[in-house]
Structure 1
Amino acid sequence: MAASLVLIAFSLRTPITSVGPILIDAVRATHLTPAGASMLTTLPSLCFGLFGPLAPMLSRRLGSERALLVLLVLVTAGIALRVVPSWQILYVGQVIACFSIGLMNVLLPGIVKRDFPDHVALMTGLYSASMAVGAATAAGATAPVANAIARVLGDTGGNAWAWALALWALPAALAFLMWLGQLPPVESHAGRGNRVVRGLWRDPLAWQVTLFMGSQSSLAYIVFGWLPTVWRMRGMSAVDAGLMLSLSVIAQAAASLMLPFLISRVRDQRVVNVVALTLTAVSLVGCFFAPLSTMWGWTLLLGVAQGSSFMLALTVIGLRSTDSHVAAQLSSMVQGVGYLLASTGPFIAGTLLRATGSLVSLAVLCVALCAISAGFGYAAGRREHVNVQLHTEARTR
C-alpha cells in the first residue's frame, strides 16, 4: 500500500512542472496570448480548488481505492491528450489531468490517516517526497526530451514540446497498473454507515489550516509556473531553467523525507512553519535578483523551504484531525478552498510581469504571501484538534 501511494504521488505534479520550462515554446507554436499563458499556469490550482471538494462524494460511492483507480485513468488520458499541438487541446488535457489530481490530493490524507494512523508524518513525508521527485523529473527532463525528439523526428514545425508533455502519461499508467492490486472486494463496503462530520466549516482552527495551505500553495504555483520564465528573462536557456527548477524540487523531496524526524521531536509545528516561510521569502528574493552564478545555492534553499512548508501543510491535516473521517473532510475543505485561493497567485504574478516588466513587483507579491502564510502557519501549528461532531447515518442503496 505504501509503495503504491508513493508511485501515485509521483504523477501528481508532473503535468504542472513539465509546462514551465517549455511555456515560451508552447506559446510560440500555438499562438497563445499572454493572458492565455497566465491562465494555463493558473489552471492547476484552480482545478484543485473547484473539483477537490467532489472527492468525498466519489469516495462514498466507490470507496477510496476504486475512486483513485478511476482518477488514475483520467489523469493518464489528460496528460496523453497534450500530444496534440493545439492550445485548445492543451487546455482540455490540462483540465482533465488537474481535475483528477485535485480529487486525488483530497483522498490521500484520509487514506494515510486510516491505514497509517501512527505514522501520519512519515507517510506524508514519503508521498510528498515522491510528489517532489516527480515534479523535479518533469521540470528537468521535459526541455531536453523535447530537444531530443526534435532531433530524432526532424521536427521543423516546432511541435516536439507537445510530445515531451504527453510522455508524462507513462508513469501515471504504471501507477494505475500497480494500484489495481490494492482494490478490496466490492462487498467490503456493504452494510457500513456513512460517518458525517458536522461543524467543520465553523471551526477557526480548520480555517487556519485551510488558509495556511492556500497561501503556501499560491507561492508554490508561482514558482512552478513563472520562475523558469523569470530565469529565462534574466538570460538562462530553457534547459538550464528547467534544470534549476528540477534542482529546487529535488531539494523539496529531501526536505519532505527529513522533516518527519524533526516533527516527531517538537511539541507542535508553530515555529517550524514560520521558519519554513521565512526561508521561502529570502530564497525567492535571491532567485529574482542574485547573480546567476549563485543561483544553484538560492535554488537549493528555495527547495528546502518550500518542500518543508508543503509537507507541513499536508501533515497538519492529519495531526489536527481526530480520525480518518475527519481527516478526509478537513482535507476536502483545506484543498478545495486553499487551492482556489492559490489559483490567484500565478495569475496575479503573470499580470504583474506583463504590466510592469519588472521583477520588483513580483518579489513584493511573494514576500507578502510568505508573511501571510507564516501567520496562518503559526496558528495552524498549535497542538489541538478541530472541534467537530461525528454522526453515523445508515447507508442507502
Structure 2
Amino acid sequence: MTGQHLGSDGQGTATVGLPSVLLALSVVLVAINLRPAVAGVGPVLPELRAGLPLSGAGAAVLTTLPVVCFGLLATVAPRLARRFGIEPVLAGVMAALAAAALVRVLDGPPVLFLGTVVAGGAIAIGNVLLPPLIKRDFPDRSGLMMGVYTMAVSGAAAVAAGLAVPLADATDLGWRGALGAWAVPAAVAALVWVPRMRGHTRPPASPAAGRSLVRDPLAWQLTVFFGLQSLSFYAMLGWLPSMYRDFGATPAVAGFLLSFSGLVQIPVSLVLPALANRATRQVGYAIGATAVIGIGLLGVLLAPMAAPYLWVGLIGAGQGACFALGLNLFVLRTERVADTARVSAMAQSIGYTLCAFGPLLVGLLHDATGSWTGPLVLLLALIVPQAVSGALAGRNRTVRG
C-alpha cells in the first residue's frame, strides 16, 4: 500500500510506505511498549519499597510520576512530529524507553525516579502520535486498527502485571530484573522503526496546527472523559495488588488479579472500536462501560474476597471499553488528521495531568486512614462525572477545525 503524510490542509497525501501488514505490525510493536514500564511496578511495589527503601509517600509519587509525565509532555508530541516526522520520533522514543527501563533499576531512588520520568515522557509521545498515524495510514480501517492498537496496549499491560512476580522470583535480580526486562521489547521496536525513517518527508503544518481548542466544549468533554477513565485505570494499576494483599491474597494471586483485569480488556478493546465506528452516537457505550467499572469497584469495596475475579473482571472490562472508546472518539469527533493530533494532544496532556492525582490520592488516603475504603469511595464518586462527560462526548458532532 502507500503510506500517507499530512498535507497542508491536514489531510493525507500519498508517499511511498510499507505494505499494510508490516505497517500494522510496526504500530503494534510500539503499542505493546506503552504500558509495561508502568504496569509492572504495582505487583512488586512492596519488594521495591523494602529493597531501596522507599516510604509510602515515595511509593505514591512513583506510581503517579509516569502519569504526570503523560500529561505534561503530551503537548510536545505534535511539535516533534511536525519538525522531524512521526516515524523518526517514534523510533527515538522507543530507544529512550529501552534505555530508561535499564537505567531506573541500576541504583537507588534518584535513578529510579529519573528513569521513570524518561520512560513516562517516551510513552507520552507514543500515546499522542499513534491515533493520528492510524487515521493517516489506515483511513478506511481506522476502527479496526484502533481496536488492534488498544488491544495491544491492554494485553501488554496484562502480561507485564502477570509476569512481574514470576520474573522477580525466577532471577537473582528480584524486582530489578522484573522491571528491567522490558528494555528488550522496546529496543526491538526501535530497531523495527529505523527503516521507516528512510525516505520520510516531514509534513507541513496545517492551518489549524497552532489554533487552541480551549474554547471548544466538545474538546473539553473528550478531555474530561479520557482523563477520568485514565484516573480510574492508573489508580487500580498502581494499587490493586497492594489492596488484595491486604485483603488476604498472596503476592502471586494479587499480581495475577491485576493481570486478569488486563486480559479481560483485550477482547473488549479489539471489538468495541469497530462497533462504535458503525454507530452514529456513542452515548450508550460511554455510559454502559462506565457503569460496569462502578459495579466492579462496589464489589471490591463491599465484599472483595467473595468474588475477586468477578469484581476485577468487571473493572477490567469497563476500563478496557472506556479506554478504547476514549481513543476512538479522537478519530470519530474530528474530520482531519491534523485535528485528530490536536485533540489527542489536548485530551492526553490535560487528561493525564488530571488522572495523575488518582494514584497519588489513593496512596495518600490509604496512608492516612490505614484502610482502602476511602480510596474506593473516591473512585466510585468519580464514576458520575465520567459518565456525564462520556455521554456528552458521544453525541454526533465534530471538533471545530
Calculate the TM-score normalised by the size of structure 2.
Answer: 0.91
Distance in structure 2 (CA, Å) of the matches to 1:246 and 1:87: 26
1:70 matches 2:92: yes
285-294 or 45-54: bigger deviation: 285-294
Tell me, yes or no, if the aligned pair for 1:195 and 1:325 is still in contact at 8 Å.
Answer: no
2:199 corresponds, among 167, 172, 185, to 185
2:179 corresponds, among 135, 152, 165, to 165
Tell me, yes or no, if the aligned pair for 1:11 and 1:131 is still in contact at 8 Å.
Answer: yes
1:97 corresponds, among 119, 122, 127, to 119
Q: Aligned to 1:201, what secondary structure does the other structure show?
A: coil
What per-residue deviation string (whole Å, max 9, x for no partner) do you get for residues 147-181 of structure 1?
0113xxxxxxxx51112110011111111122223
How far the C-alpha of 1:194 sits from its partner, in A, is: 4.5
What per-residue deviation string (whole Å, max 9, x for no partner) do you get for residues 211-242 of structure 1?
11111100011010111110111111221111
Aligned to 2:336: 323
How far the C-alpha of 1:51 sits from its partner, in A, is: 0.6
Aligned to 1:196: 208
1:354 corresponds, among 367, 370, 390, to 367
Q: Aligned to 1:196, what secondary structure does the other structure show?
A: coil
1:33 corresponds, among 55, 80, 85, to 55
How far the C-alpha of 1:350 sits from its partner, in A, is: 0.7
Matches within 5 A, 1:169-248: 169-186=183-200, 188-189=201-202, 192=204, 194-197=206-209, 198-248=211-261
1:274 matches 2:300: no
Tell me, yes or no, if the aligned pair for 1:209 and 1:316 is still in contact at 8 Å.
Answer: yes
Q: Identical aligned pairs, as a percentage?
A: 39
Matches within 5 A, 1:1-397: 1-150=23-172, 159-186=173-200, 188-189=201-202, 192=204, 194-197=206-209, 198-292=211-305, 294-388=307-401
Distance in structure 2 (CA, Å) of the matches to 1:280 and 1:291: 14
How far the C-alpha of 1:184 sits from its partner, in A, is: 4.4
Q: Aligned to 2:315, what secondary structure does the other structure show?
A: helix
Tell me, yes or no, if the aligned pair for 2:273 and 2:325 is still in contact at 8 Å.
Answer: no
Q: Aligned to 1:387, what secondary structure does the other structure show?
A: coil
Distance in structure 2 (CA, Å) of the matches to 1:93 and 1:116: 34
Q: Aligned to 2:98, what secondary structure does the other structure show?
A: helix
Query: Counterpart amino acid of 2:196?
Result: Q
Runs of 5+ consecutive residues of structure 2 not aligned to the other structure: 1-22
What per-residue deviation string (whole Å, max 9, x for no partner) do you get for residues 100-155 of structure 1?
101111111111111112222221111110011110111000111100113xxxxx
User: How many residue pairs were aligned?
Assistant: 378
Structure 1 residues 61 and 199 mapped into 2: Cα distance closer, same or farther (>3 Å)? closer
**Structure with higher helix content:** 1
Distance in structure 1 (CA, Å) of the matches to 2:223 and 2:205: 28
Distance in structure 2 (CA, Å) of the matches to 1:268 and 1:128: 20
What per-residue deviation string (whole Å, max 9, x for no partner) do you get for residues 76-119 of structure 1?
11111133142221111111111110111111111111111222
Distance in structure 1 (CA, Å) of the matches to 2:304 and 2:330: 38
Calculate the TM-score normalised by the size of structure 1.
Answer: 0.92
Tell me, yes or no, if the aligned pair for 1:78 and 1:96 is still in contact at 8 Å.
Answer: yes
Structure 1 residues 14 and 359 mapped into 2: Cα distance closer, same or farther (>3 Å)? same
